Amino acid sequence: MSALGHRAIVMGSGIAGLLAARVLSPHFAEVVVFERDDEAATPGPRGGVMQGRQLHTLLASGLEVMERLMPGLERELLSRGAIRSPDVGLTARAFKFGSWTIAGAIDVAMITMTRPLLESCVRERVSAIPNVVFRYGEAVEEVVYDRVEGRVTGVDSSPVGVAPGVEPLPAALVVDARGRGAPVAQMFKAWGAEPPDEETLGLNVGYSTVIVKKPAGFSADWFSVLLASTPPDSPAGMMHPIEDDQWIMAFCGRGAAKPPAGWEPLLDYAGRLPQPTIRDCMRLSTPVGELKVYNFLAAVRRRFDRARFHPNGLLVVGDAVCSFNPLYGQGMSIAVLEAGILEGLLAGANEEASEWREALWRGFYAQIAPILDKAWGQSFALDGLYPETKVRRGPGFALRKAAFLWAQKLSITEPVLRRRMMRTAQLLPEAPIGLGDLAASQWRLWRGRGSRVSPATFQAPGEALGGASSAPGPARQEHAVGL
């Protein structure tokens, strides 16, 4: 039953901590999850995850692995109000770099919901595992490192607001899932060790999210809307359906172009986006609850994969390893992919092998590195185009920028490249897109110049109400092949 020891401890019960507990549970007699927040009586936003009120997209890669770890989860989410698009390539309405993109199958289903719904369904699943014990309202104060043994041996915790006074709880393995605020550097320094290097992308980006009730009788032939920004201008907007016939709408801007806090100013802001679609939907809808603003200064990647020191018996997961620009919806899905990797490594670990702890962290950081490289690279490519972003762009940046812009523009109308780029953005396995792929895509466009592909004839918001509304909407869009 407990191949790797009596107890594993997980610090933090966000998405990363919950999934870590799930994959640890078959390998330890007990898994104790410490969570600083109190147990919630009903699913809802909570203090320990302040970003939980903002729009949260679960990428297809994350959904796929979550479903494998918790079979039937998708069905349960849908029964509790999540909404499914069988193929977002056909139903997502996207405007970028001055044009509506074409529609076309990419074989990617997506479900959308609020983050509290997703987290509560996952929490219920993990709480139902008999050997997982939650200690709510208890913050971990210290991770105990035994210098003689050269490993982490447990944690010191205390109820929130009470000084620690009890014996540390011993564990064979401790997982740090305390989110982006996890005090990793302090922890390593307290052990007299050098913390891992950090890479940062200074973003200075602001988000405003509002939930609205859809107008009665609204039935559109599209699922979601993305109005991407055109660098150097940064205002962008997106909306998708969630529980209870509602939409969640998020606006994003950088530096002086951050979105405002009130409903009326936000309507104005929505009107300044490259298309009025979201503003028109706002005008047809009723806001529900408060509008929430979140400032995100920097994405941070801690390079555990290159660290000169790492204690055995400790694993760091989720945002505590790497936090991303929220705009690309990567954070939760990366946490899920990490859990999938941890599951595989635990299956091959054996307490009899004395070095299993070292093999675990070495294998874990080595295997998550390519996934983080890919997600971080996608963010760097786009974020680097905005003057507000503070990052070392390096000598080859001008060339990479030209290739990136070329790819973006081609993918508006060229279906093969669009499919690959959309699947890559979902962190699905796709070969990297190189200059040869862009040339081939350009050739396909030239060859087919004048013919038409899958025109995206999405309805304007007013049309989706059967013409009952007077709200102005963009006319149906049609796209010719050729740039």
Ligand X SMILES: Cc1cc2nc3c(=O)[nH]c(=O)nc-3n(C[C@H](O)[C@H](O)[C@H](O)COP(=O)(O)OP(=O)(O)OC[C@H]3O[C@@H](n4cnc5c(N)ncnc54)[C@H](O)[C@@H]3O)c2cc1C
Interface residue list for ligand X (CB under 6 A): 11-17, 34-37, 48-49, 51, 54-57, 139-140, 177-179, 207, 294, 296, 318-320, 326, 329-333, 335
Please state the closest distance from residue 455 (CB atom) to ligand X, in A.
Answer: 29
Distance of alpha carbon 92 from the chain centroid: 18
For 154, phi and psi rounded to 5 degrees? 165, -165
Buried b (16+ CB within 10 A) or exposed e, 198-214: eeebebbbbbbbbbbeb
Of 87 and 156, nearer to ligand X (C-beta) is: 156
> What contacts 408, CB < 8 A, 6 or more positions away?
96, 97
Q: How far is 366 from 393, CA to CA, in rounded Å?
A: 25
Select 2 or 158, whichever has its Cβ closest to ligand X. 158
- Which residue's CB is nearer to ligand X, number 158 or number 442? 158
Please, what is the minimum distance in Å from the beta carbon of residue 396 to ligand X? Answer: 29
For residue 293, the minimal CB distance to ligand X (Å) is 9
> Contact, 267 vs 282, CB < 8 A?
yes
Query: Which amino acid, residue 211?
Result: I
Per the listing, tokens 């205390």 go with 158
DSSP letter at 106 equals -
Q: How far apart are CA 426 and CA 421, in angstroms?
A: 9
Q: Which CB, 195 or 474, lies closer to ligand X?
A: 195
- Which residue has the closest beta carbon to ligand X? 331
**Residue 52 CB, nearest distance to ligand X (Å)?**
7
CA distance 28 to 174: 12
Cβ proximity to ligand X, 303 vs 476, nearer residue = 303
Q: Which one, 320 or 385, has the nearer CB to ligand X?
A: 320
Q: For residue 280, give every residue at least 6 positions away whose Cβ sits within 8 Å of its Cβ, in sequence order, or none.
A: 460, 461, 462, 471, 472, 473
Q: Taking CA 315 as the corner, what is the angle to CA 312 and CA 320, rounded to the nearest 5 degrees?
A: 140
Question: The tokens of 408 are what?
Answer: 């973006």
Q: How far is the CB of 194 from ligand X (least distance, A)?
A: 22
In sequence order, what DSSP letters do the residues of 267-333 get, joined into one string?
HHHHHTSSSSHHHHHHHHSEEEEEEEEEEEEEEEEE-GGG-S---BTEEE-GGGTB---GGG--HHH
C-alpha to C-alpha distance for 252 and 200, rounded to whole angstroms:
20
Q: In which residue are the tokens 């993990």 written?
A: 126
Residue among 35 and 280 whose Cβ is closer to ligand X:
35
302 close to 118: Cβ distance less than 8 angstroms: no
Distance of closest approach, residue 170 Cβ to ligand X, in angstroms: 17
- 205 vs 464, which CB is nearer to ligand X? 205
SS3 250: strand
Least Å from the CB of residue 68 to ligand X: 17
For the bound state, the minimum distance from the C-beta of residue 294 to ligand X, rounded and expressed in Å, comes to: 4
Least distance (Å) from ligand X to the CB of residue 104?
A: 24
**Tokens describing residue 25:** 């549970």
For ligand X, which is the closer residue by CB, 218 or 386?
386
DSSP state of 105: -
